[in-house]
Structure 1
Amino acid sequence: MHETDLHLEPNEASDLCRVFEPDVLARHGWDRAFITVLDEAVAEDALAILVHAAGEPLDEAWEAMRVPADAGASAGKTEDAEACASRNGFVYVVGSQFGKKAGPLNAKRSWIARVSEASIESALAGGRADLEVVRFRFVLHRAINDALADVGVLALGPLGRQAYVEATIAKGARDAKRWAGRIQPTDHPINIEAAEFRPDGRLLLGLRYPVTADGHPILVELENVDELFADPNAVPRCGNVWVLGDVGSVEAPAGFRALDTTGGDSFDAVIGDLDASGKSATVLADHPEGALAASEHVRFELPQDSNGGVVGSKVVHHFGDIRRVEGVSVDHEGHAHYVIDEEGHVALRTLVSD
């Protein structure tokens, strides 16, 4: 396992996705390029690119660069980028849909954005990338909760219900928010930390929270991503729900931290705890066992002719004492790259496959 320190401010990186075709990489003298997102920033300041000089050893010659972007009328109105995925020359970025660790849920975290790879390349030469932002104001929260209605989800404890659900409902009513009524008393707070596309364009959303009642991680498919950017009145539609049935347990529930695919319906994922211990997370106040799951890289495949359900996985790598594994991307040579939050810096680690 090779480690490279990346100097990015703020130092809260999440997720990885590959960008640029071989001709673009060659033009810049690179052989690999990944986008990561910085979740402490507003969306237009959250993009960074990690590039590797062509022909150099994988434990050397990496460079991290910020990608300045223009979010138009949505500038300053988003926060907490947590997941990214690329498709057809665009990078898509998803907000967590969640709230701070003590609640309530935050409408500024309820969004999806996209930026073209061509615009990213132009921004690296000067200027700013054009970032299209769709602000959900909890309509994606609503769609995911509706999709989970028939799934046996881990019961939300009394502290979480008060902090995330009841407090958000009260804020919407008190401040006459446009989104008032979209949060229902029986809802679960949604924390998205992973995203990846299926071949047909459906976007898999990996939930860190909630998980199933048996502690297994959940994927929900967002069916109409392109429509959301084409029609300002479009409402997100969520369909199939998938569960990794051999990951996590009642004693140590596990959620998604990252997703990647190298093609087809085969996916790589990082799974781990429901929230970090020692940071006064309300989720852990109700479910202290949610801090116990170790981080693992697993691989699984989704059937094409199924409407969701339980699937199995195999372990690719166990991270031992390393907990804050935030992203995974497998390159053209089969080497797995991970972005990891560590105290004071962001680390890129590469698992070299023999």
Structure 2
Amino acid sequence: MHETDLHLDPNEASDLCRVFGPDELARRGWERAFVTVLDEASAENAIALLAHTAGAPLDEGWTAVRVPADAGVHNGRTEDAEACASRDGYVYLVGSQFGKKRGPLSAKRSWIARVSEESIGRALDTGTAAELEVVRMRFGLHRAINDALAGLDLIPLGPLGQASYVDATIAKGELKSWGGTVHVTDHPVNIEAAEFAADGRLLLGLRYPVTADGHPIVVELDNVDELFADANAVPRCGKVWVLDNVGTPEAPAGLRALDTRDGVEFDAIIGDLDAIGKSATVLDDHPEGALADSEHVRFELPAESGPVGTKTMHRFGDIRRIEGIAVDHEGHAHYVIDEEGHVALRTLVFE
């Protein structure tokens, strides 16, 4: 694999998605470009562009730049961007819906945003801020996902997770407009992957929870466009799929990234449930959640909810913090990786 240091600050990045069509890439002298989102940042501060100069070797010619954005009245009211996906000239960003390592869940992490590729291009050319639309859901997506997962046998929520993420959030909500949205029987939801299916529905990959057998879960969000069109719209989640040959009870695996080129076949990164050594409540309850290795897998989703088999494309061995994947027009897989002190982009050339 080829590796490039992206020199991004802050030094944590998540997910990748392709941007710009062939004509726009050619106009800028590029042959591929991706968006990544920067962890722990607000939506308007989370966007970075990775571009590769046309004709350059895959381990050279990369440019990484922050893309300033303006979320209007929502500036400063979001945090923890974790996933991105592109469709029809827009890039969509998704907050984790989760909380800090010791809880509680945070309403500032419950959001979806979008920005047009045209606005990103204008920001690059003029230095002005791209126009970012933000939908703050105040646990609406948490509620919809938990309702969709109701029929699955999930990994048990341990006593610390119950107290720190669920009970503490419910207590905090007693004085909030979103009070009552989080239920005592809920699981906290950590979204780290997003991609569009061919029918335009947004697929969300969960790092947590996983099934009781340790398998990762994909949940379908039915009405992402409606959320931007109607301020009163409520998130609706429908189908749920389980990658049933990935992860085990002894080493459960969650989803870290999703990518597709046709909305039918998907590439994914799977890995541990949380990073070891960061005082994570999830690992206090489930130490085995730190054991799964990172892998690149490929699968197709059936028309209806249910189990899904995967094919392993690459195992990363000792490299654990694989945060994003995008497969380019030539079939090369690009991975964004958090490493100590820097963010790296690695490219795997399949022979």
Query: Shorter-chain TM-score category?
Result: over 0.9
Distance 2:39 2:288 in 1: 25
| Partner in structure 2 of residue 171 of structure 1 | 172
Instruction: Look up the SS of the partner of 1:26 in the other structure.
Output: helix
Query: Shift of residue 91 of structure 1?
Result: 0.3
| Partner in structure 1 of residue 217 of structure 2 | 218
Correspondence 1:320 to 2:321 = no
Distance 2:220 2:302 in 1: 13
Correspondence 1:148 to 2:145 = no
After TM superposition, list the pairs within 5 Å mapping 1:60-75 onto structure 2.
60-75=60-75
Q: Does the aligned pair in 1 maintain the 2:16–2:84 contact within 8 Å?
A: yes
Q: Does the aligned pair in 1 maintain the 2:264–2:300 contact within 8 Å?
A: yes
Instruction: Look up the SS of the partner of 1:148 in the other structure.
Output: helix
Distance 1:241 1:353 in 2: 30
Q: Give 2:169's aligned amino acid.
A: T
Correspondence 1:204 to 2:203 = yes
Correspondence 1:112 to 2:109 = no
Correspondence 1:246 to 2:245 = yes
Instruction: Look up the SS of the partner of 2:144 in the other structure.
Output: helix
Deviation string 1:65-103 (CA, Å, 9 cap, x unpaired) is 010000011000000000000000000000000000110
Distance 2:66 2:194 in 1: 21
Distance 1:108 1:8 in 2: 24
Unaligned runs of 5+ in 1: none
| Partner in structure 2 of residue 189 of structure 1 | 188
Distance 1:262 1:325 in 2: 20
Correspondence 1:50 to 2:47 = no
Q: Give 1:60's aligned amino acid.
A: E
Deviation string 1:103-147 (CA, Å, 9 cap, x unpaired) is 000000000000000000000012110000000000100000000
| Partner in structure 1 of residue 13 of structure 2 | 13
Distance 2:306 2:66 in 1: 39
Q: CA RMSD in A?
A: 0.5
Instruction: Look up the SS of the partner of 2:347 in the other structure.
Output: strand
Distance 2:282 2:276 in 1: 10
Distance 1:146 1:41 in 2: 28
Correspondence 1:295 to 2:301 = no
Q: Give 1:212's aligned amino acid.
A: T
Distance 2:267 2:118 in 1: 26
| Partner in structure 2 of residue 269 of structure 1 | 268
Distance 1:54 1:298 in 2: 28
* Equivalent residue in structure 1 for 2:329, among 306, 309, 332: 332
Distance 2:187 2:336 in 1: 28
Correspondence 1:127 to 2:128 = yes
Query: Shift of residue 264 of structure 1?
Result: 3.3
Instruction: Look up the SS of the partner of 2:350 in the other structure.
Output: coil
Distance 2:91 2:254 in 1: 23
Query: Shift of residue 172 of structure 1?
Result: 1.2
Unaligned runs of 5+ in 2: none
Distance 1:21 1:33 in 2: 9
After TM superposition, list the pairs within 5 Å mapping 1:275-290 onto structure 2.
275-290=274-289
Distance 1:210 1:116 in 2: 31
Distance 2:250 2:99 in 1: 25
Distance 1:274 1:30 in 2: 36
